[in-house]
Structure 1
Amino acid sequence: MARSTILIAENSCIIRKGLRSILQNLENSEVIQLIDDKEDVCKIVTKSKPDILIINPNMLPGDCLDVKKELFATNKLSLVLISDKKNIEKELKADAYINYSDGQNAILDKLQEILNKKNKSVHADKSSETISSREKNILKHIALGLTNKEIADQLFISIHTVVTHRKNITQKLGIKSVSGLTVYAILHNLISMDEVK
């Protein structure tokens, strides 16, 4: 699992450094930068493309709204507001809200929930990938027990192309063994039980 990156934009030095210290307890994540200047927020967010931006709403410059919409539209960036104002997350459509009075466990729970949602959506995206018709054809030959060379010869392609297709198939399906690929091929009517050697 890739490490999630976090930016903290807050004008208070104590809060920035305190959050960074708390977030060291968050698994598979790292704080990549602390931002203390409102004018740098958009430039740094655009350049570093973090997974999570924890920001005091006062640090969001008005001219940053177009960048914000673009980044949030890609579903890459989750916005976490840190403030003492109530209902501010609804105004800015934030993913979470941290109050200045929240304890360490509450902060970690909120951020862990965001990371869990991100990981589920990434996993769902990968599992929902379908294999192409060419990959189905390669998979059929793999399930029939043919070697890479035999598949290449039958389909008039190079062995390297077969290997590339195999890698793509195993990555998309999340199945690494030939027996697992064979079961997949049978269940998806690419081959029949009678054809298996």
Structure 2
Amino acid sequence: MRDPIRILLADNQPLTAAGLTQFLGGNDNASIIDEVTKRELLEPLLRKHTPDLLIADYNLSGFITRQDIHAVKNISPQTQVLIISSDDNKSNILDVLQSGVKGYLTKECSREEIMMAIQSVARGEKFYCHKILDIIMEKHFGAEIPQAAVNVLTTRETEILKLLAMGNSTQKIADDLHLSPHTVQTHRKSIIRKLSIKSPTEFVIYAIDFGLIKPR
């Protein structure tokens, strides 16, 4: 049995902290090992626990800042960062995304989405809720999103793009489509080249843009 994900929670709002603590209290896959309630406690608690995951409320007013997030990798390199914030300012959100965090959720997300984010980000994968994906799309594509770009893909590539965006592994896609993993990888490389994809998140961005999947 895999060890539970060890989480350090940084949130100076007692109700939010209590809610997450209660939510994860009965979960065998993740547990909160300590809480950061003051900014000056972040570094010593990271050094003490070296957690798998830091869940933080990003706050430009001084609680957990971009500088703090950058410092996490120096203090505890194995710790991934998941932001759960009520801040809906696009500029602030883009600012924190540029700091290299793996996941970002709003506080309106469902319990299921929060658990999926915790598991994904702890594995080093990226996970963004639909609102954050919309902001990323706007940043990447501006006002004119290239709807016609899907025309450069073959029917098979479009099908594989959809499955990749849904989180399927190369092996599962190969099994489902009765292809070899090598063939799926070849199509994947072609999709990356044609769409100039630079990160796994962009598979989701394009799939949503093309109407292949709906935002989570």
Structure 2 counterpart of 1:27: 28
- What is the percentage of aligned positions where both structures have the same residue? 21
Equivalent-residue separation in structure 2 for 1:26 and 1:113 (angstroms): 16
1:80 matched to 2:87? The reply is no
Aligned residues: 116
**Cα–Cα, structure 1 residues 67 and 46, in superposed 2: closer, same or farther, change >3 Å?**
farther
Q: Which runs of 4+ in 1 moved over 6 A?
A: none
Q: How does 1:48-67 map to 2 (within 5 A)?
A: 48-58=49-59, 59-60=63-64, 64=68, 67=71
Quote the offset at 1:17 in angstroms.
0.8
1:38 matched to 2:45? The reply is no
Q: How does 1:1-197 map to 2 (within 5 A)?
A: 1-58=2-59, 59-60=63-64, 64=68, 67-71=71-75, 74=77, 76-83=78-85, 84-85=87-88, 86=90, 87-88=93-94, 89-115=96-122, 117=123
Quote the offset at 1:7 in angstroms.
0.8
Report the TM-score, using the length of structure 2 for normalisation: 0.47
Equivalent-residue separation in structure 2 for 1:108 and 1:10 (angstroms): 17
Quote the offset at 1:36 in angstroms.
1.1
* Partner deviation per Cα, 1:35-83 (whole Å, 9 max, x = no partner): 21111111111221100000112232576466323146x3x10101121
Quote the offset at 1:109 in angstroms.
1.4
RMSD of Structure 2 on Structure 1 (CA): 2.6
Larger Rg over CA atoms: 1
**SS at 1:57 equivalent:** coil
Equivalent-residue separation in structure 1 for 2:83 and 2:98 (angstroms): 11
Gaps of 5+ in 2: 125-216
Tell me which protein shows more helix as a share of its residues: 1
* Partner deviation per Cα, 1:133-188 (whole Å, 9 max, x = no partner): xxxxxxxxxxxxxxxxxxxxxxxxxxxxxxxxxxxxxxxxxxxxxxxxxxxxxxxx
Contact map agreement 1:5 1:50 (CA 8 A) in 2: yes
Report the TM-score, using the length of structure 1 for normalisation: 0.51
